[in-house]
Structure 1
Amino acid sequence: MKKATVRDVASKAQVSTATVSRVVHGQRVRPGVKERVEAAMAALQYRPNLAARNLRTNASGIIACVIRGLLMPELSPFIRAAESELRAAGYTLLLASSNEEAETQKELIERIMRQGVDGLLFTATSDEGNVLKNTMENIGLPTVLLDREADFLADSSVVDHQNGIRLAVDYLASLGHRRICLLTVPQSMRPGRERVLAFNHALAANGIAADEAIIQDHFLDGAQAALGVAQLLESANPPTAIISGGMTLLSSVLRATNMLGRKIPQDLSIVAGCDSELAEIFTPSITTIRWDVWQWGTISARLLLERIGAKAPLEKRQWIMPTELVVRNSCMRIHR
C-alpha cells in the first residue's frame, strides 16, 4: 500500500495542505475542519513525520515537567490539566521527578537541556540563596517555575499560601484554640517560607503569643512527619490543633492520630494545607485550604506556551493562585 502524503489527506478532507499542516501542528482551525482532517488521516493511515518537522524547525515538540516527587496524588489534576493544554498546542509532556534530591535535579536538568526540549515546568527542590538563580541562568530555555521564586529570572505560577494560613489561624482562634501547630515543608522552599510568615502574623493578629504555638518546618518524608506529630501529641503540652501545610502531610497527621488512638476533632482539630480526595472522604471530613489545582496546571502551561511563542521579549510574569478555607468537620470549639 502506497504511503499517504499530506496532499492525499488534503484531497480527501477537501482542504489545503496548509490546513492539514496546521492541524498536525496543533494550531487552531475553523470548527469542524480539525475533525475532518483527522478523519482523513485515520482513513488513509497517515502518520506525520514529526522528526523531519523538528529538524526543519529546530523544535522537539516536547515540554519537560520536573517535580519534587511522583507520590503526590494532589498534583494529578495539575499534571492532567497542563498535559491537556500542551497536547492541544501540539506538544508532548515529559514528566520527571527529582525525588527531593538536589543532585538528581541537577542531572535531570542537564539531561533535559541535552535532549533539546522546547520548554520546562519546574518545581525546584529549593529556591533559597543562589542555587535556583544559578540554575535558571544556566537553563537557557522557556521556563515556568511552579510555586518557586528566582527574582523574576523566569515566569512563575505560585499559590497564595499566606492567605490560606491566615484564614486557617483565624478560624481556629475563633474556636478558642491557642496551642496551634503549623506543620510544613522547610523554609528553603517558597511554600514553607510563606506559611511560616503568615502563621506568625496571624498569631499576633489574634493575640496569641509566639511561644504558645508550635512551628515544625523540617518535614518532607511522610513517615518522618508522622513520627514527629506523634511525639508532639505525646508531649507534656501538646497542640489542640494542627495545620498540616503541604500536599503530602495530611496523611502523616492522620497516621499519627490513628497510631495513638486520638479522635478528630474531639482530641485534635485539623486543617489540611491542600484539599484532596482524602480530606473529602475521610471521616470526619477534613477542613482544608483549597485552591484550584486544575486551573493552576492550565495557567502554568499557558504561561509557558506564551513564552515559547513570543515574537518579542516578554517581561517576566507571576500568576498567583487564590486560596480559600473550606470548613468541614475536623475542627471543634474548645473551652478553657
Structure 2
Amino acid sequence: MRKTVGRITIKDVAEAAGVSVGTASRVINNKATVRPEIRSAVLSAIDRLDYQPNAVAQSMRRRSTQLVGCIIREINIPALAAFVRAAHDELDQAGYSLVISNSEGRRAREEELIHRFGRLQSDGMLLGPYTPVDPAYEKLLRGFGAPIVLFDRNEPEWADAVAADHAGSIDRATSRLLDLGHRRIAILTGNPLLFPAAERIRGYRRAFQRAGLAVDESLVRGTGFLAAEGFRNASSLLASAAPPTALISGGIDMLPGVLRAIRVRGLSIPDDISVVGSGDSELAELHTPPISVERWDMAETGRTAALLLLRRIGGERDTPPEHVLLPAEFVERASLAPPRQS
C-alpha cells in the first residue's frame, strides 16, 4: 500500500530506484559523483513518489540554506534588472533562491547588507561594490564565510569576477569621434578606482594616444555613475568657456542626466554636440536621435556570475579565482556628427 505523500522517505526513493540510501542522498543533494543513468533513475523515483525533501533538515546536514544574496545599486535600473533576472534563472534552476537588496550606492548600506547576508548564512553572494574596496572592506568580505562573485568589478582579486571590456568599447567610440574631427571630447564616469570607470578612461586615453593627441584633463570627470552626477558634470562643462563638442556618458544610469543637461542648455544632438552612452537601453534606442552606446550583454553577465558562484558552492574552493571579461561593442547611431565649425 502506497504511503501518504507526507511520509515518503529517502529510503522509499532508494528502494524504488534500486540504489542505496547514500546514492539517493547524493542525487538529492546534487553531488557530482553519480553516474548519469543512476541519477536519472533516482530522479524518476522522486517524481513517481512525489518525494519532498525536508528543506530544514537538508540545510542542517549540508550546512546550506539554499540562499544566495545579491547586492546591487538600484533594481529599477534596466541593465541591472537584466543581470538579476538572468542570475536568478540560473540559480533557481539549481535549487537556490536569490535574495536581492539595493545598496542605494552607499558604502554603509553595502556593509550592512553584507552583515545581513552573513547572518542569514547565505551560501554565496553576488556583489558589485559602488565604492572602492579598501583594507577594511576587504576584511569584511573575507569574513563573509561563503563564496563571493563580483560583477563589473575586479577587486578584491581573490574573488571570482565577471566584467565587460569597457576599455575596448570606449576606445572604439573615442576613435570614431576623433575620426569625425572632434578634439574636445569629454568623458563622464564613476570613481576611477572602480573597474568600469578606470577601464573606460583607459580606453579613452588609449584612443587619444594612438592618434598622437594630448588629453585635456579638464574633460575627464570621474565622480560618480548616477544620473545626478551626469547632469552636474555635463552642465558644468557645457557652460564653460571652451565646452566639449562630444560627450561620453560612462555609466549605465548616467545618460538621463547628461541628456537633461544638454536640453537645459538648448543644444541639439548631434548638430551642437555628439553623445555616446554606456549600456544600451530603451532611452538610448528611442531617443530622437537614437544615442550611440557601448553595449554588452548584462544578461550574460548575470548568467556567468551565477555559474561561477554555483561552481564554488559546489565545492571548487581551492582553484585560483576566475576573472571573466565579456566582450563589449560600440554601436553607432545618429547621435554622432562632425563638430560644428565655429
| Fold-level similarity (TM above 0.5) | yes
Given the alignment, which residue of 187, 196, 204 partners 1:191? 196
Given the alignment, which residue of 86, 90, 93 partners 1:88? 93
- Matched to 1:145, the amino acid is L
Q: Who is 2:272 aligned against?
A: 267
Provide closer, same or farther for how the CA distance between residues 253 and 306 of structure 1 changes in structure 2, counting only shifts above 3 A.
same
- Matched to 2:195, the amino acid is R
Contact 1:66 1:123 in 2 (8 A): yes
Contact 1:145 1:154 in 2 (8 A): yes
Q: C-alpha displacement at 1:3, in angstroms?
A: 4.8
SS of 2:70's equivalent in the other structure is strand
SS of 2:271's equivalent in the other structure is coil
Gaps of 5+ in 2: none
Instruction: Give the TM-score normalised by the residue count of structure 1.
Output: 0.87
Match status 1:257 vs 2:257: no
Match status 1:63 vs 2:68: yes
Partners of 1:32 and 1:285 in 2: CA distance: 51
Match status 1:51 vs 2:56: yes
Q: Who is 2:140 aligned against?
A: 135
Given the alignment, which residue of 232, 241, 245 partners 1:236? 241
Instruction: Give the TM-score normalised by the residue count of structure 2.
Output: 0.86
Provide closer, same or farther for how the CA distance between residues 178 and 27 of structure 1 changes in structure 2, counting only shifts above 3 A.
same
Partners of 2:296 and 2:82 in 1: CA distance: 12
Q: Who is 1:76 aligned against?
A: 81
Q: Who is 1:120 aligned against?
A: 125
SS of 2:175's equivalent in the other structure is helix
Given the alignment, which residue of 110, 113, 116 partners 1:108? 113
Alignment of 1:278-297 (within 5 A): 278-297=283-302
Cα deviations across residues 156-201 of structure 1 (Å, max 9, x unaligned)?
1122111111111101111111110001011131111222222222
CA RMSD of aligned residues (A): 2.9
Contact 1:127 1:190 in 2 (8 A): no
Q: C-alpha displacement at 1:5, in angstroms?
A: 3.9
Contact 1:230 1:256 in 2 (8 A): yes
SS of 1:78's equivalent in the other structure is helix
SS of 1:81's equivalent in the other structure is helix
Match status 1:144 vs 2:146: no
Provide closer, same or farther for how the CA distance between residues 273 and 284 of structure 1 changes in structure 2, counting only shifts above 3 A.
same
Partners of 2:30 and 2:282 in 1: CA distance: 33
Partners of 1:87 and 1:312 in 2: CA distance: 22
Given the alignment, which residue of 326, 333, 338 partners 1:321? 326
SS of 1:93's equivalent in the other structure is strand
Match status 1:166 vs 2:171: yes
Provide closer, same or farther for how the CA distance between residues 294 and 227 of structure 1 changes in structure 2, counting only shifts above 3 A.
same
Provide closer, same or farther for how the CA distance between residues 96 and 151 of structure 1 changes in structure 2, counting only shifts above 3 A.
closer
Greater displacement, 138-147 / 299-308: 138-147
Q: Who is 1:204 aligned against?
A: 209
Gaps of 5+ in 1: none
Q: C-alpha displacement at 1:151, in angstroms?
A: 4.8
Count matched residues.
Answer: 331
Q: Who is 1:4 aligned against?
A: 6
Cα deviations across residues 31-81 of structure 1 (Å, max 9, x unaligned)?
99899779768xx7x754312221121100001011123332111111111
Provide closer, same or farther for how the CA distance between residues 237 and 33 of structure 1 changes in structure 2, counting only shifts above 3 A.
farther
Match status 1:154 vs 2:159: yes
- Matched to 2:173, the amino acid is A
Contact 1:127 1:148 in 2 (8 A): no
Q: Who is 1:175 aligned against?
A: 180
